[in-house]
Each structure stands twice: as structure tokens, then as C-alpha cells.
Amino acid sequence: MSAKLPPGLQLEKVDDRIMTLNVGPQHPGSGHMRIIIKVDGDYIVHTDPDPGYVHRGEEKMAEYRNYITNIPHLERPVIHDSCNILYPYCLGIEELLGLEVPERAKYLRVIAAELNRCVYIQYWLAIYGIFLGHSTMFMWPTGDRELLIDLLEKMTGARVTHAYFVPGGIRNDVPPNFEDVCLRQVNYFEKRIKEYADVFYDNPILISRTRDTGVLSREDAIKLGTTGSVLRASGVDFDIRKKEPYDVYDELDFQSPTLKEGDSYARSKIPWLDMFESCRIIRDALKKMPKSGSVRVKLKPKPKGGDTEIYRRVESGRGALGMYIVSKGKPQPYRLKISVPSFRNLIAMPHLLTGEKLGNMPAVYWSLNYWPVEADR
Amino acid sequence: MVNDITVSKPKGLSVINQINSNNANVFVGKLGDVLYKAVGTPLGMALNWGRLWSLWPVHIETACCSVEFGAASGPRYDVERFGIIEAFGSLRQCDLVVVQGTITRKMAPRLRLVYDQMPEPKYVIAMGACAITGGLYFDSYNVLPGIDGILPVDVYVPGCPPRPETLIQGCMLLQEKIKRMKAR
Amino acid sequence: MYVTARENKKNEGKVVLKMSSDENNTNVEKTEEAPPVPEFENPLANLILKKFPSATIAFANPDRTRVNVSKEEIIQTASFIRDELHFDHAESVSGVDYPDEKQIEVVYHLGSYDDPSLSKQIMILATRVPREDNPHPGNDTTKLSSLYEIFPSVAFHERECFEMLGVYFEGNPDNRRLLLPEDWADIPPLRKDFDIKGR
């Protein structure tokens, strides 16, 4: 009977051993997505992620707006990492229009992007803490995050949705005393995140919950095309900032942390180690930055691109974020595809969760550095 | 006056005599109405006062405004001191839905389902431009132009996203509204 | 400074875009002349052209190479790219709608994690499938062989492309709806003839 029905309408075989659970969209451990999980006793036997609850049609809307008016809504998928999602877009438009970014703007962009990366990771870490029932780990990062949000607010004028990057530079220069304040805040911030080791990363409860759960081997990580912290936790040293340096990343002194274990603990530790590197980058950039100069190239209204296509990518807080822009000589892009790291890491979710215990689901799920709004676009 | 009272006494007694197993419910209901009218207003104020300082928001994130909702629960803004606790997982104990941003066509039935499962009384805050009118996504093919069509909204909190202070102000407006509300 | 450097490199390595209709002509030229090895500073482009003469190289920058192939050849080309050129994962799969040419272009962006010399390089593998004016996703001629067997990382990207543009990927184990609501009954939204409201 089931052979004649179309695939979507086939009746499910009822099994008294296997139980289907809907995790989300209203679930303290799911976020804005649903994971359909089948459990046999305490073990997950089948996982089917069901994203799309925040699918807002960004790519379609971008075809109707010109290159400048696209900026505000393109940053909405990750508002707490908004500089990094606009970065590949601006790089792409600059390549399209042949713009040269002033030197000072390049450094300020790097500083804004790294501050934003820390803001993103702190929020992610806070949610990871609350997923594991560790309330202190919610309160500390949320509080320390406000320091950097203050800095970004000073820089850009907005708390989270900055719209700071524009093709040809940045929107406005920083206030005069910014460098001293930034250095002081970043130093304090680095001192604070060192303390997370005591309360979170060396905590035996965390270690016993996340060690050896959801192990992603190096081969699987490569085969599944994962990116960012998931990839680097599995022992692949791949960071776009190192491999394909954009703006001034090739002049700055930093490393990309890599771990070999590939379990949830390693995946949760990589972003934390990333924050130290971000602090290093910010300090180095503040030192090397030209003290004055213009920060923006003047653009014509409604700039038009040629008949070409561009794919640019950057390393965001979650991994490689690419933008594929097809231009047909109009002020609007003909097609804009945002290749987001969350969507690329989604494929690892059924791979990792199947075979795990149900209790490990939040620890594995959020360690994938997955932000559902971004994955749905 | 005196005559009226003397007449009404046997009437009331006859009503009591008529009570049997079939109409007992009706009588108790009427008694409830009388009691409600007598003590309803002061009791309602007490009930509302009790609800006022323990609003439990349900844990449903719908879009990116949840970032600012999370920040509002954090140590700097700390909504708990205004009587609103952190987002909570169990629907049956919650009485506040903070709609945190864009409602897509896929999310709308789920949001209504969440609302329907919550016990009365329940309140709704529409947070962010997308939840109010559709915001930036007014012309998107998959976004509802505001949540008025699916939920009765008590307070609108504008912003894209609203700052945590704005959210706190919205919550305080809701408390003000509950204070003046008829108890449900 | 960085942008100008990129521009220069691009102009050096740039080759005139050959449309699919010119394929026959270019084939004839290639068989008559010596293979255009000196044209590309990019060795990947030469390797692909040597193996698949009917493929066209749209451009070959130092860090981006775009190969257009016909839809029948895509499996062989992708296997060659994986086995011989050591690209091991797909970064994105995007569909571009060309209603005037009655075609939909499917673009695979392939990258390499294992080979450090290729870490800057993105191999852009593009093919075109016929497009129908009244789409019936899954049951019309808009079909393409899935690259799932070669690059397992395309699984969710191809699912997205199926619902957004109506390109059915034969061989993908999971062709269900992914992002759109369950009751979506309109044409695939990223097609050019799907208009959003108020525009």
C-alpha cells in the first residue's frame, strides 16, 4: 500500500519500542528550530532536523533592493555577529565596483569584526551554559559581553545591529578617545575570560557531560563540509583569516586554535580560545592602525556592477561565511546567495546525534555553533 | 420596605426547596455570581496584584530579538528585579508570551498552539518591529505582517531590535495594564 | 591596495566567457589548435580542459576557477575534481534562474581542506538544466544528477535548491521540503517570475 502513495504521505509504521519526540520549536533546548528525534529507550536512533522557522526570504528580497539598501536586512540573520555577515558582502561589492578601501578603514573593520566575534561567542557560551544547566555560565558571559557591546556602541552607534560596514569602508570614524578605551576594555575582558576556565572549562561536571559525546572524526568533518569551530575541533587547521587573508589579516599576529579530539568539549573550547586570539588581533591592530585618514570612499548613488559574478568568504564567529553575488549590470544584484556556516554545520547534526543518549542532545546540539536564524536566512 | 423583606423571605426559601440534583449546578453558579459581585472587585485587585509581580514568560524564540531578550535577563539589565523571570520551559506555568521578532508562516501555527496551551490569564508582548508590522520584512513572501491576526497583543515594544531598557519599559507598561485590568 | 592587486591578477588570468551555445565552435578550435595551456596561469583549468574538452572555463583567477559543464557530464567532472584535483567538500550550492534562456543554472562552490596548496582556491562547477514555465517540482524536466555520492556535504544544500528553484536532484536520498512551510503551494520562490508583494 505504501508503495503507491507519494513519499510525503506514506504512513509511518507504529513501533512500540521506538518513540518519536519533537524537540522544538518551543523547547528550552532547541531554539528556533525543530529536531524530530526517534528514541529507543534512552538512545537516539534517528534524527531529522527541521529548520525553516525563521526563513524570511533574504535572498529573494535582496534581488529587489540595490547594493546599499541591502545592507540593513542582510545583517539581520545574525544580529549579534552583524559585522562579520556584512564583511563578505562589502568585500564582494568592492571587488565588483573596483573600490579601494582606505588603510584606516581596513584596520577599523578588523577591530569591529573581532569585537563582534567576541560578542557572538559570549552569547553562544551563555546559551551553552544554560543548556547544560550551568546558570553562572549564563550570567558571566552575558555580563562581560556588555563591555564589548559598549565599545561597539561607541564605535557604531547601535547596540547589536550596527550596519557599520559599507562598500568602500566603514560608515563613520571612531570617537577621539576610542583607542585608549578599547585597549583598556579589551585587556579587562581578556582577564575576565581567563576566569571561565575555573568555573566552566575545568569543571568536572562539564567535562563529564561533554567529553567523548558527539565525536566527529577528522575524515567525517572534511567529508561533511563542516566549518569553523566544528572543523577546527576535529583537527583540521582551516581558518579563512589565515588561508585567504582579507583586508589586513595577513599583517596581524595571531593563530587559529585547533584541537584534535573532535568531541563536544573540544567544540565548546575552540570559540573560547578564539576570543583570546581576537584580543590579540585587536591589540595588534590598534598598534598598527594609522592614526588619522579617511575611512570611506565616496560612492555614487545606486552603484552598478558589471556583468560578472563574485564569491567572497570570511571567517565569522561560526566559520566560513561566503556570499555569491551575480551581477547583471543593474543596481540590484541578479542573485545573492548567502552560504552560511550554520547551514553547513547542520548536516553534522543527524550524524552526531544518532546513537547518542537523549540527555546528551543539548550538549551536542549547541556545541555545533549553530544559530538557527542564520541557517534559515 | 418592611413588607418587601417579609415577602421576599418565603420566596427565597421556596427557591431552596426547589433544588434537586438536576439544578444544583445552576444554583451554585448563581451563588458564585452573587459572591463575585460582593467581593469580586477587591478580590480581583488582590488577584491582579499577585499576578503582577510574577510574570513568567514562556520560552519560545521566534527570531533574532531573542538576543536582546537574553541580554535583558543578564546581569546588567536583570528583568527579574521588575518581577519578570527568565524565559521558562514549561507552558503550563507561564502567563506571558513575549513574541521575540519575526513570525514566519511556518512558525505562526506553532505560536498559536503555544498560546492555546497556556492557562488563563495570559498576556502577550509583541517585541520588535517584525512582530508589530513585519518590519524590514514587510515584503517577504514568508513573513506575517504583524502578529495581530493570530494573538491578542497587550503591549507593543518597538525597535529593531528593542534595547533591553525598552523591553523592560514594555513589561512595566504591561504591569500597569494588569493593575487596572478586570480580573479574569 | 589589496583590491587593486586582486583586480590585476584577475585581468591577467581572465578569459572570454564562452556561452554554452558556442560549445561546438570552441571544441572545433581546441581540436585544431594546441590546447590553450599558456592562456591559464591556473593549472587546474588546464587539467580539466585536457580531460573534458567539452567543458568551458569561464574564468580562471588565481583563487577562483569556474568550469561550465553540460548536465550529463557533471558526475564525471565532479569525480575527477574530487579524485584528481583533491577538492573534498562543497561550500554552497546555489541556483540561478535565467527565464529568458529557459534555463536554471546550478552552481557548486567546491573547496579543499586537505590540500594546503588549494586552500585559497574555490572551484566553481556550474551546469544548466532546462526550465519550464509551469513548474511541477520533481515531475518535470528540471532534473539534475545529485552529487551526493561524490560530495556528501551537498545534501542539505541540494534540498534547499530543490524547494527554492524546483531543480530535482536525482540520487539525493532526501528530497523533502526543508525551509518553506509545509503548506507552500506556490511556484518555487527564487524563480524570477515569482514576485514578492508590493514590488
Question: How many domains does the structure of chain A reveal?
Answer: 1
With DSSP H G I counted as helix, E B as strand and the rest as coil, what are the percentages for chain B, rounded to 5? 50, 10, 40
Mean pLDDT of C141-147: 84
Grouping H, G, I as helix, E, B as strand and the rest as coil, residue A195 is coil
Are residue B152 and residue B72 in the same domain, yes or no?
yes
Same domain, B45 and B91: no
**C109 inside 8 A of chain A by CB:** yes
d(CA A165, CA A152): 13
Confidence band of B7 (pLDDT split at 50, 70, 90): very low
Mark whether B81 and B158 lie in a shared domain: yes
Are B119 and B161 found together in one domain?
yes
B131 plus B44 within the same structural domain = no
> Does residue B140 sit at the C interface (CB-CB below 8 Å)?
yes
* Average pLDDT rounded to a whole number, residues A341-367: 86
Which grid coordinates are listed for C5? Answer: 592587486
Q: Are B141 and A57 inside 8 Å of each other by CB?
A: yes
Whether residue A301 is preceded by a cis peptide bond, meaning omega within 30 degrees of 0, is no
Determine whether the interchain pair A56/B91 forms a contact, defined as Cβ–Cβ distance below 8 Å.
no
Q: Is A157 helix (H, G, I), strand (E, B) or coil?
A: coil
| pLDDT(B37) > 80 | no
- B142–C182: do the CB atoms touch at under 8 Å? no
Q: CATH code for C2-170?
A: 3.30.460.80
Directed axis angle between helix B66-73 and helix A103-131, to 10°?
70
What is the structure's pLDDT at C36? Answer: 46
pLDDT at C25: 44
Compute the nearest-CA separation of B133 from chain C (Å).
15
Tell whether C5 is within 8 A of chain A (Cβ). Answer: no
- C77 HSE (CA, 13 A, CB side): 29
Beta strand ranges found along chain B (DSSP E): 96-100, 123-127, 155-157
C66 strand-pairing partners:
C59, C124
B141:C199 CB<8 A: no
- Specify the higher pLDDT residue, A194 or B54: A194
Question: Residues B46, B86: one domain?
Answer: no
Contacts of B138 in chain C (CB under 8 A): 198
pLDDT digits (tens, 9 = 90+) for A35-57: 888 888 888 888 888 888 888 88
Tens digit of each residue's pLDDT (9 = 90 or more) over C114-129:
888 888 888 888 898 8
Q: Is residue B58 part of a domain?
A: no
Q: Within a domain: residue A292? A: yes
Q: Contact, A208 vs A300, CB < 8 A?
A: no
DSSP codes of every residue in B35-76: HHHHHHHHHHHHHHHHHHT-B-BB----STTHHHHHHHHSTT
List the single residue in B with minimal CA-CA distance to C194: B141
One-letter amino acid of A235: G
Nearest-CA distance from B102 to chain A in Å? 7
Q: CB of C9 within 8 Å of any CB in chain A? A: no
Structural domain harbouring B19: 2-52
Segment B100-111 mean pLDDT: 87
**To probe the interface with C, which of B141, B144, B150 has the most C CB atoms within 10 Å?**
B141
Residue numbers in C near A51 (CB within 8 A):
178-179
Q: DSSP labels for C80-91?
A: HHHHTT---EEE
CATH of residue B102: 3.40.50.12280
Mean pLDDT of A208-231: 87
In chain C, residues with a C-beta closer than 8 Å to the C-beta of B105 are 181, 183
Q: Which one, of C101, C94, C61, lies nearest residue A60 by Cα?
A: C94
Where do runs of H (alpha helix) occur along A163-210?
Answer: 178-194, 196, 204-210
- Within-domain flag for B59: no
CATH number of the domain enclosing A321: 1.10.645.10
Q: Is residue B120 part of a domain?
A: yes
Q: What is the mean pLDDT of residues C35-61?
A: 70
- pLDDT at C22 exceeding the cut of 70: no
Is A365 contained in some domain?
A: no
Q: Are the Cβ atoms of B106 and C196 closer than 8 angstroms?
A: no
Tell me the three state secondary structure of residue A336: strand
Residues of A in Cβ contact (< 8 Å) with C94: 324, 335, 337, 339
pLDDT in tens, A17-36: 788 888 878 777 667 888 88
Note whether residue B60 is domain-resident. no
**Residue B75 and residue B47 share a domain:** no
Nearest CA to A111 among A285, A291, A246? Answer: A285
User: What would the pLDDT profile of C70-85 be if each residue is shown by its tens digit?
Assistant: 888 888 888 888 888 8
Do B125 and B35 fall into the same domain?
A: no
Cross-chain CB nearest to C122 (options A225, A238, A311): A311
Q: Which of A364, A316, A363 is nearest to A137 (CA)?
A: A363
pTM beyond cutoff 0.90: no
pLDDT of residue B140: 85
Identify which of A26, A80, A161 has the shortest CB distance to residue B114: A26
C38 contact B CB<8A: no
Give bridge partners of residue C57 from the DSSP assignment. C67
> Sorting pLDDT into bands at 50, 70 and 90, what band is C11?
very low
Mutate to test the interface with C, among B106, B110, B140 (most CBs of C within 10 A): B106
| Per-residue confidence (pLDDT) for residue B40, from 0 to 100 | 65
Task: Give a yes or no: residue A50 inside a domain.
Answer: no
The residue in chain B having the minimum alpha-carbon distance to the alpha carbon of residue C199 is B139
**Contact assessment for residue A336 and residue A59, using Cβ atoms and an 8 Å cutoff:** yes
Residue A356 falls inside a structural domain: no
Stretch 164-183 of chain C: residues touching chain B, C-beta under 8 Å: 180-183
Q: Which residue of C has its CA nearest to B103?
A: C181
Distance from CA of C40 to the nearest CA of B (A): 43
Residues of A in contact with B61 (CB under 8 A): 25, 31-32
The residues near A238 (Cβ < 8 Å, ≥ 6 apart) are A227, A231, A232, C113, C119
CB contact under 8 A, A335 and C114: no
**C164, C176, C180, best to mutate vs chain B, most B CBs in 10 Å:** C180
Percent of chain A at pLDDT > 70 equals 95
3-state helix, strand, coil in chain C (%, to 5): 30, 25, 45
Please name the member of B105, B106, B139 whose beta carbon is closest to the beta carbon of C198.
Answer: B139
Chain B: residue whose CA lies nearest to A79: B64
Substitution target from C110, C156, C161, C163 for chain A, most A beta carbons within 10 A: C156
- CB pairs < 8 Å spanning B and C: 20
Q: Which residue of C has its CA nearest to A100?
A: C3
> Residue A25 is nearest to which of B60, B76, B89, comparing CB atoms?
B60
Average pLDDT over residues A235-250: 87
Q: Is residue B154 part of a domain?
A: yes
Which member of C186, C189, C199 has the closest CB to residue B139? C199
Interface contact C197, partner B, CB < 8 A: yes
Structural domains in chain B (count): 2
Task: With beta carbons under 8 A apart, name residues in chain A contacting C164.
Answer: 59
Residue B161 is given by DSSP the state S
Residue A239 lies in a domain: yes
User: How does the average pLDDT of chain A come out, rounded?
Assistant: 86
* Spatial separation of the C-alpha atoms in residues A37 and A353, rounded to whole Å: 9
Whether residues C180 and B106 touch (CB distance < 8 A) is answered with: yes
Residue B45 and residue B97 in one domain: no
Residue B17 in any domain: the answer is yes
Assess if residue B133 is contained within a domain.
Answer: yes
* Confidence check: pLDDT of A71 > 50: yes
Residue numbers of the domain that contains A230: 58-346
Chosen for mutation from C113, C162, C180 (greatest number of chain A CBs closer than 10 Å) is C113
What's the Cα-to-Cα distance from A15 to each of A37, A40, A48, A57, C171, rounded to whole Å? Answer: 14, 10, 18, 38, 29
Q: What's the rounded Cα separation, in Å, for the pair A170 and A167? A: 8
Residues of B with CB under 8 A from a CB of A: 58-64, 66-68, 70-71, 73-76, 87-89, 91, 102, 104, 106-107, 110, 114, 136-137, 139-143, 160-161, 163
Angstrom distance (rounded) from CA C127 to CA C147: 12
Among candidates B105, B139, B140 on the partner chain, residue whose Cβ is nearest the Cβ of C181: B105
The domains of chain C are located at 2-170
Q: Count Cβ atoms below 10 Å from residue C129 Cβ, excluding itself.
A: 19
Which subunits have 3 or more CB–CB pairs within 8 Å of chain B? A, C
More confidently predicted of A75 and C139: A75
